[in-house]
Structure 1
């Protein structure tokens, strides 16, 4: 079935591109071409479309209300790859859960999203404790979903409207627990179109998916490759060498990563014939250093390198074309297709060249806000500056950047207290609350400090009178928080600096400890 057969011709358009429900993305590929390959099997586009329809039919069999949330906490395989498409096809909203999270974070996501169905691996479901799953939320194992998509009735392509909610992706803020970013079919569809376009993906491309599908960046690996008619290879890797082996065995052309992965990969001894298979490297989740760019360019001379900057609230904002990487290694690049990026002063007026200002993302990639959080939505999602050609709602990033005379952007600083480590956005508050709950700890402050491998590492400062509290805090954090949130170091202080209002002076702490 082609796209023209699936929907009426009068679908809404953005910049000349017709908007489709995201579950139509597989319909773009040649039916006989390979779409998904991996340890769990090989699927052509026709076979994967049929499997998608069955998984959507299985979900529809639960007879949940329209727009009900379905959470998935599954291994990276066919179920994980198809859930972002199957749930919307069944009229439901997908809520992917980061596989690194532990029961407390999962419990928050389930409760906050109001999930009515949780699908997880048996081992992960076994870690949940009493009260973690909200009343009324059904639990099913991943094996059940796998059986459901191997047979039974199949749902055909949906006719969802472009602005219908398709997914809620949870991302940490600088304060409080993770918040759910609401993404529409249009957000996901245009993200796939945009990335496939500027990466110049083609049907011959093979993408190794090493990033979690719970991230917008990881999920888009699927959508953009399928939009281009290529093949995806999901991989839960244990060591960087597993990545190199997969590149070799699968003849991978495209690899997306975050800075810590690149640091590990450039330390390997890559045979020239394996390195030459990669044609495209994409980076987000943190800036590449000049030295790392140089190492990647030397190790993978045949590969185009795409540094990128993004916000979950607007998917992706900028990319730097490969031709400019050597001459402008510090630049964030410029806007991707369907994104309008403005640099503005506090009054909303556009800055002059090289004048620092706040990055504001306008246009159809802007998400619909935070799920059930009007207050935080109002803080970040505000009317676009008057200069915007799109108007409507924009994402005010809180990041300070500057724009040079050629229109290239450069990162200056982050206004909030977010810690960005190994591609993960970490809420200091969540770490601090867990530490402060330990006996003997009066106060806790978590800050991000520079780290060559991670971008930023977590430094946790404790105020309390018991030296033994440090060990208790370390044990609690290991038990309650995922590994990427564990502090590199914990320091005990007698006092914290205060501002005139008596509040902890985080700026002074950051300066003193090198953040």
Structure 2
């Protein structure tokens, strides 16, 4: 490593430390506390480590609100100590892998923390799984114990014989287990729409990793955060982890209901809400009268991620709630890539913003680095928490030391990133390259269109032709949709097929299920 690289690394680390100090994750005026926090993170990981650190600093602060239940950091730390000890007494240890299949709630959080305290690897399972997908993932990840929510008990009949069901009920008391010699980490599953999703193993050993969020998002110690996006997915999990390490109060929403989410913001005076764009649209669709009857003036951050945020939807949110939109972009494999602040969004609606401190983002066309504004390339990311590879083998393409997200994007003249679509979603029609995202974003701006998605379908003459799937708020016909697109974009971007549907098929994490769309034709 040359002197220039060392100097850059030192400057980046210093910026990260300053950002962490500003947010309140570390306190440089108390060096012993900083050392202890770092050691706790290395041993337990970011979830159990965050709980233990916050239990020391603010033991009586409410950590979780789950329905009518309120759990302090002291209680959460003690309960998960007891659960880990109970599992250890039952014969489980750091050599085992534990799976959890639960909707958002205290049971899921306690499982996450207890597994880390046991030193066992944790696999976060998708609550939308069918029996076959569940069996496949349990076998591939070598899961030997499973925490299964009672509401999903029917799946127990199809479990492999070598998987033991675990309970999370244990009374606090007794000696906690010694700290693990090393953290085992956890496995996130990619958001595949068919087949078995890949496993993305992750370990987070440095508290500086949280700088990538608090650099561009005004997260501060002791806030209240409403989590609407599911915890088994990286969107909510990342903010859950940061919130634990900030000693914040986390409101677990559960199965999404727009009216209830709005009332929870008002009831708990939430500083932040974490959701996917579909959830945001449903909240806004409640209408001005309902929005005005709930006091949302506490809201400082609407953190949206997990799918593309249409420019019209983000702008509607700013009109309703003020300049509080933070549009996150990244993927399960790389972690954070960029975050758009409200200022970014107002200047360039639709952008996913810029890279936070410690993150590198670049575009490649094949092996050629793309630097010209407006030129499309595949997005590549450098992030210290990126995975080394999938748990089942293989990984993402690496170029210049950066990992591909599989998305196509371009920078504007201000250095802000825009995502044009998946590289495998690009449609070639009559020799022209078409990115669905551009057409979808335009369709969302039509006053009679609530949702829209565009895919390519086989065509004998052109190879592929464009098919648009539209959810209309009022009466609308296909010719009007085509004429609207031709007025604003090149004629070859107008969809030849326009199909009106009641709703778009989506994955459990809110992404459009494009294979599901093709099946609707």
With normalisation by structure 2, the TM-score equals 0.71
Aligned to 2:307: 286
Is 1:318 the counterpart of 2:338 in the alignment?
yes
2:146–2:164: 8 Å Cα contact kept in structure 1?
A: yes
Task: Find out whether 1:399 has 2:407 as its counterpart.
Answer: yes
Per-residue deviation at 1:121?
A: 1.6
Per the TM alignment, residue 348 of structure 1 is displaced from its structure 2 partner at its CA by 4.3
Distance 2:136 2:143 in 1: 11
2-side partners of 1:66 and 1:88: how far apart? 9
Secondary structure of 1:85 counterpart: helix
- Post-superposition Cα deviations, 1:105-149, rounded to whole Å, max 9, x if no partner, equal 2222211211000111223122344xx322321113xxx31x226
Q: Which residue of 1 aligns with 2:170?
A: 148
State the partner residue of 1:254: 272
**CA 1:85–1:292 in structure 2 vs 1: closer, same or farther (change >3 Å)?**
same
Number of corresponding residues: 415
* 1:319-378 Cα shifts (integer Å, max 9, x gaps): 0121221111121111123321111231243433332211111130211210022xx32x
Q: Deviations over 1:441-461 (max 9, x none)?
A: xxxxxx9955569xxxxxxxx
* Kept after mapping to 1: 8 A contact 2:233/2:509: no
Question: Gaps (5+ residues) in structure 2?
Answer: 1-26, 427-435, 441-454, 456-465, 473-504
Q: Which residue of the partner structure matches residue 99 of structure 1?
A: 127
1:271 and 2:292 matched: yes
For residue 60 of structure 1, what is the aligned residue in structure 2? 88
Among 53, 62, 75, which residue is 1:34 paired with? 62
Q: 1:176 to 1:296 in 2, by over 3 A?
A: same
Paired residue for 2:49? Answer: 24
Which of 349, 352, 362 is the matching residue for 1:332?
352
Counterparts of 1:457-468 in structure 2, within 5 Å, are: none
What SS is found at the alignment partner of 2:202? strand
Matched-pair contact (CA < 8 Å) for 1:186–1:364:
no
**Which residue is 1:168 aligned to?**
187
Taking the TM superposition and a 5 Å limit, the aligned residue runs for 1:83-122 are 83-122=111-150
Judged with a 3 Å threshold, the aligned counterparts in structure 2 of structure 1 residues 272 and 148 are, in CA distance, closer, same or farther, namely same
Between 75-84 and 224-233, the greater mean CA deviation after superposition: 75-84
CA contact (8 A) 1:174 1:417 kept: no
Write the distance in 2 (CA, Å) between the matches of 1:363 and 1:482: 23
Structure 1 SS opposite 2:336: coil
- Whole-Å Cα distance in 1 between the matches of residues 114 and 403 of structure 2? 28
Contact 1:340 1:363 in 2 (8 A): yes
Alignment match, 2:161: 135
Displacement after TM superposition at 1:231 (Å): 0.6
Checking the alignment, whether the CA contact within 8 Å between 2:86 and 2:170 is kept in structure 1 is: yes
Q: Provide the secondary structure at the position in 1 that maps to 2:327.
A: strand
Give me the whole-angstrom Cα distance separating, in 1, the residues matched to 2:327 and 2:283.
Answer: 16
Contact kept in structure 1, 2:330 and 2:405, CA below 8 Å: no
Contact 2:269 2:296 in 1 (8 A): no
- Cα distance in 1 for partners of 2:58, 2:386 equals 31
What does the per-residue CA deviation read over 1:302-324, in whole Å, with 9 as the maximum and x for residues that have no partner? x5110111100012211012122
2:326 paired residue number: 306
Partner of 1:363: 383
**2-structure distance, mates of 1:37, 1:294:** 30
> What is the CA–CA distance in structure 1 between the aligned matches of 2:467 and 2:174, rounded to whole Å?
50
Quick one: structure 1 residues 193 and 156, their matched pair in 2 at CA, closer, same or farther if it must change by over 3 Å?
A: farther
User: 3-state SS of the aligned residue for 2:367?
Assistant: coil
Q: Is the counterpart of residue 211 in structure 1 residue 229 in structure 2?
A: yes
Instruction: Please point out which of 352, 359, 366 is paired with 1:346.
Output: 366
Separation in structure 2 between the aligned mates of residue 448 and residue 184 of structure 1, nearest angstrom: 41
CA distance in 1, matches of 2:36, 2:247: 22
Q: CA RMSD in A?
A: 3.5
Match of 1:236 in 2: 254
Q: Call closer, same or farther: CA 1:9–1:228 in 2, change over 3 Å.
A: closer
Say if 1:333 and 1:409, in contact at 8 Å, map to a contact too: yes
Answer whether contact 1:37 1:233 (CA < 8 A) is retained: yes
Task: Mark the CA change 1:281 to 1:448 in structure 2 (over 3 Å): closer, same or farther.
Answer: farther
Matched, 1:182 2:201: yes
Aligned-partner Cα distance in 2 for 1:40–1:152: 28
Question: CA shift at 1:6, angstroms?
Answer: 8.3
* Partner Cα separation in structure 1 for residue 356 and residue 509 of structure 2: 32
Specify the SS of the correspondent of 1:275: coil
